[in-house]
């Protein structure tokens, strides 16, 4: 089955947003065993959409459309597909009921303009959209499939995961030729150093293609295998992974879509320990990451964001002498912050960050990018020094990742 | 002149990279006064590229191709355009000289595989590529233009800036038609309600095209104007903007690339006031946003992330009676948290969030998505109730935006 993605949106053509929807759908289709052959982007015009649909169905068996499903006048996708499939738009009482309920649950009256979200082409099967008002649509004609999805990324993603991937997994009974990849996620090591440690990559590439994908706070190692049989795919991936892990395992915190915070959360949860954070240079990002994990209230008690020295002293109990003698950005302050927040909030562990995020505030002795990460379990109190870059947001990202990784290593006792 | 971008690359179809090249070219074309109408992505296959070129030239006057120009076996773009334009590939001694020199300057011998980078279709004009070995190519036929660029982003960008944008600015006489857009950014209001408040959009669309772009925590209103003269463009945009602002100004926090936190930062800085936050359901995201703005230590003192009730009581001074009687997610708790953190950290203003982010923890009385935002300036202490969705990350985003907007309105006295 050959697939095409058709993204509708002037904002993509004007370069105002990157087409991340296409990227997400591409990945999902790989998982579902569907081969994506074309991505097309056109503007919010009914004529353009109709033309592109004709082109798409001349060559593809599956067309996935995103965008232009909202309630406003510039949303024309529904009318274009209705015309293409010769399927008049009808009022759907069930959708209308859900729509009313959706607004009621928020204590709001539904605006009149939203009523058209309950009007859909008669032939379409409805794909539920639990995060928004525009339902997804599925048309099937002469063995070809058309899926129509809202352009809001979270809503689109949810429908792809809930409805489209399962549909293809069932429909194709698993793909005939197999393309698989696996990503091993590392942090705390440079790309060039990783490459050096891996040695001659040809050994690995006997089994799987290896790609280095550097991010702000780590490097992903992607292994890709294409083969006729699932079993061969699986074996090749396994052997390539074993070779990689054999050399750089201590830097690998997870696989594929795993995040560092999820890994740390799982360890804390398993060890039944609690954590509190004292953040200076990360300004809340570390706590934000820790609380992104559902159920984080099981191990996360709270944090103190101590931007000013007064807060460091009055709330965390950092001594004025330490601040005077070593400064706010120092190993001693990081240690006192970690122990202070652990003690103040009654947690098993305290984790701290203090540094110069930039762009201003650097000196020759303490440049922008200098960061200390502190850790305390009440008896052992330690800190580690890092020097990152001169980019504020990247420094916040990297410091948060370094703190999470420091905690991970303490929990795994591989410090 | 209507343009199409044709991106070549299996890695885009597999979702391994986002198509940022298309985004860059889109923006450059806007500047050059060329209207982009289609973006197409196909894989590294000569047949596919030929087919897509035919489709593109049936509808567009300008086709810009990226990718597949490298020296390795999987780079086939050059052969496809050579065939399309009936222009045989010939050896170019001048390019060869530059290629040799390029390697010599790095103290390297040119690998044999790179020799083909000096072989180009005879009809093509060469577009210099100072950052790599694959030159850009320009074909002109019956008034239509085809540009072929390498896929490496830095190289592609350089050729677009050095050769393509200047070509169109010259060719079109400084853009005979002018395309301009402006985005008015709103928060705290639904798309459908915004549309209702704007009334008959035809009044606005006399002057500029209006698009609604909903995000997780707000809706952008984009006004686009295309006209023969720059002065007319400017005037139309101004009149359209005035009509929009006249109706929904209180929801507009900024323009184009402005963020809500930057707007709030500017207000705090101007009014020389300081802020501290007490976060529960946002878990650090609100502070993270506040500290993303360089220089935030001028107005941001710190925060307390109070996930557990003990932290709410012991650090923020929320009374146990309030927690027992009304619960942690309540108007009273939000107020006490805001006043508590203001008082504890010695700030002018206290801002608080408490809610049920989900996915668990909801009850019939207090469903997932229920959030209270609190504010205190020491005398006036207020809170506001919101009901968001059942998506954890979206709830954190929306609650943070709601808190920032609540603060913005207090600072502007438009509460």
- The reported pLDDT for the residue numbered A173 is 59
pLDDT tens for residues B102-137? 888 777 778 777 888 999 999 999 999 988 889 999
With an 8 Å Cβ cutoff, is A11 touching chain B? yes
Instruction: List helix spans (H) across B43-144.
Output: 46-59, 77-84, 93-105
Whether residue A74 and residue B212 make contact (CB cut-off 8 A), yes or no, is yes
| Confidence band for B309, pLDDT divided at 50, 70 and 90 | very high
- The reported pLDDT for the residue numbered A166 is 92
B chain contacts of residue A10, beta-carbon cutoff 8 Å: 211, 222, 224
- The reported pLDDT for the residue numbered B408 is 97
Element at B288 (helix H, strand E): helix B285-290
- The reported pLDDT for the residue numbered A212 is 79
CA B137 from centre of chain:
30
Per-residue pLDDT of chain A in tens (415 residues, 90 and over written 9): 899 999 999 989 998 888 999 999 999 998 888 889 999 999 999 999 999 999 999 999 999 999 999 888 889 999 999 999 999 999 999 999 999 998 888 888 888 888 999 999 999 999 999 988 999 999 999 999 999 999 999 999 999 999 999 999 887 655 556 778 899 999 998 777 888 899 888 899 899 988 877 788 888 998 988 777 888 989 999 999 999 999 999 999 999 889 999 999 999 999 999 999 999 999 999 999 999 999 999 999 999 999 999 999 999 999 999 999 999 999 999 999 999 999 999 999 999 999 999 999 999 999 999 999 999 999 999 999 999 877 899 999 999 999 999 999 999 998 8
- The reported pLDDT for the residue numbered A225 is 87
- The reported pLDDT for the residue numbered B299 is 96
Distance to chain A for B115, nearest Cα, Å: 25
Question: What average pLDDT does the segment B278-296 reach?
Answer: 97
pLDDT tens for residues B322-342? 999 999 999 999 999 999 999
Q: For residues B378 and B124, give the distance between their C-alpha atoms in angstroms, rounded to a whole number.
A: 72
Q: Which residues contact A18 (CB under 8 A, 6 or more apart)?
A: A12, B18, B19, B20, B23
Q: For residues B404 and B88, give the distance between their C-alpha atoms in angstroms, rounded to a whole number.
A: 62
Q: For residues A279 and A338, give the distance between their C-alpha atoms in angstroms, rounded to a whole number.
A: 9
Give me the residue spans of the domains in chain B.
Answer: 2-171, 178-255, 260-412
Prior bond to A359 cis, omega within 30?
A: yes
Class level of CATH domain A260-412: alpha beta
Whether residue A396 and residue B213 make contact (CB cut-off 8 A), yes or no, is no
Q: What is the CA radius of gyration of chain B?
A: 28
Q: What is the CATH number of domain B2-171?
A: 3.40.980.10
How many other C-beta atoms can be found within 10 angstroms of the C-beta atom of residue B307? 26
Helix (H, G, I), strand (E, B) or coil at A72: coil
Q: Which residues contact A86 (CB under 8 A, 6 or more apart)?
A: none
- The reported pLDDT for the residue numbered B270 is 96
Q: For residues A386 and B43, give the distance between their C-alpha atoms in angstroms, rounded to a whole number.
A: 42
Inform me whether the pLDDT recorded for B177 exceeds 70.
Answer: no
- The reported pLDDT for the residue numbered A177 is 62
- The reported pLDDT for the residue numbered B107 is 74
- Which residues face A218 on adjacent strands? A215
The second-level CATH assignment, the architecture, of A2-172 is 3-Layer(aba) Sandwich (3.40)
Helix%, strand%, coil% for chain A, nearest 5 = 45, 25, 30
- The reported pLDDT for the residue numbered A298 is 94
Q: What is the DSSP string of A100-135?
A: HHHHHHTT-PPPGGGGGGGEEETTPEEE--TTSSSP
Whether residue B39 and residue A294 make contact (CB cut-off 8 A), yes or no, is no
- Any idea which residue has 């985005």 for tokens? B183
Q: Looking at chain A from residue 144 to 163, which residues have their Cβ under 8 Å from any Cβ of chain B? A: 152, 154
Q: Which residues contact A171 (CB under 8 A, 6 or more apart)?
A: none
B chain contacts of residue A305, beta-carbon cutoff 8 Å: 277, 284, 287, 291, 302-305
Per DSSP, B130 falls in state T
Nearest to B389 among A110, A131, A358 (CB): A131
pTM greater than the 0.90 cutoff:
no
Residues B165, B81 contacting (CB under 8 angstroms): no
Question: What average pLDDT does the segment B146-159 reach?
Answer: 93
Whether residue A44 and residue B394 make contact (CB cut-off 8 A), yes or no, is no
With an 8 Å Cβ cutoff, is B364 touching chain A? no
- The reported pLDDT for the residue numbered B103 is 82
Per DSSP, A118 falls in state G
CATH topology for A178-255? Answer: Alpha-Beta Plaits (3.30.70)
Question: What average pLDDT does the segment B171-187 reach?
Answer: 77
A chain contacts of residue B366, beta-carbon cutoff 8 Å: none
């Amino acid at each position: 089955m050959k697939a095409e993605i058709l993204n509708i949106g002037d904002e993509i053509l004007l370069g105002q947003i990157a087409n991340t929807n296409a990227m997400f759908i591409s990945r999902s289709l790989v998982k579902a065993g569907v081969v994506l052959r074309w991505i097309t982007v056109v503007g919010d015009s009914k004529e353009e959409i109709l033309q592109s649909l004709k082109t798409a169905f001349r060559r593809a068996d599956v067309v996935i459309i995103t965008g232009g499903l909202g309630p406003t006048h510039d949303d024309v996708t529904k009318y274009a597909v209705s015309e293409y499939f010769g399927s008049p738009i009808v009022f759907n009482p069930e959708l209308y009921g859900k729509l009313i309920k959706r607004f009621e649950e928020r204590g709001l009256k539904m605006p009149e303009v939203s009523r058209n979200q309950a009007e859909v082409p008669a032939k379409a099967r409805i794909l539920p959209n639990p995060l928004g008002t525009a339902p997804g649509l599925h048309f099937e004609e002469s063995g070809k499939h058309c899926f129509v999805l809202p352009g809001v990324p979270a809503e689109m993603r949810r429908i792809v995961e809930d409805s489209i991937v399962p549909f293809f997994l069932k429909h194709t009974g698993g793909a005939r030729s197999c393309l698989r990849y696996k990503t091993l996620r590392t942090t705390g090591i440079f790309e060039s150093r990783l490459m050096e440690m891996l040695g001659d990559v040809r050994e690995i590439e006997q089994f799987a293609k290896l790609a280095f994908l550097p991010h702000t706070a780590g490097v992903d190692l992607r292994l890709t295998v294409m083969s006729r049989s699932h079993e061969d795919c699986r074996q090749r991936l396994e052997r390539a992974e074993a070779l990689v892990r054999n050399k750089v395992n201590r830097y690998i915190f997870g696989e594929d879509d795993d995040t560092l915070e999820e890994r740390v959360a799982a360890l804390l949860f398993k060890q039944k320990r609690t954590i509190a954070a004292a953040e200076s240079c990360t300004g809340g990002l570390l706590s934000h990451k820790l609380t992104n994990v559902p159920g984080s209230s099981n191990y996360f008690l709270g944090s103190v964001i101590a931007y000013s020295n007064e807060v460091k002293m009055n709330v965390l109990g950092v001594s004025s002498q330490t601040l005077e003698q070593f400064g706010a950005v120092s190993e001693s302050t990081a240690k006192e912050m970690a122990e202070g927040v652990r003690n103040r909030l009654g947690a098993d562990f305290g984790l701290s960050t203090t540094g110069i995020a930039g762009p201003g505030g650097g000196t020759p002795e303490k440049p922008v990018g200098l960061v200390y990460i502190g850790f305390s379990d009440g008896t052992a109190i330690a800190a580690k020094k890092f020097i990152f870059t001169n980019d504020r947001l990247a420094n916040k990202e990297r410091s948060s990742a370094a703190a999470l990784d420091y905690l991970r290593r303490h929990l795994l006792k591989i410090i």
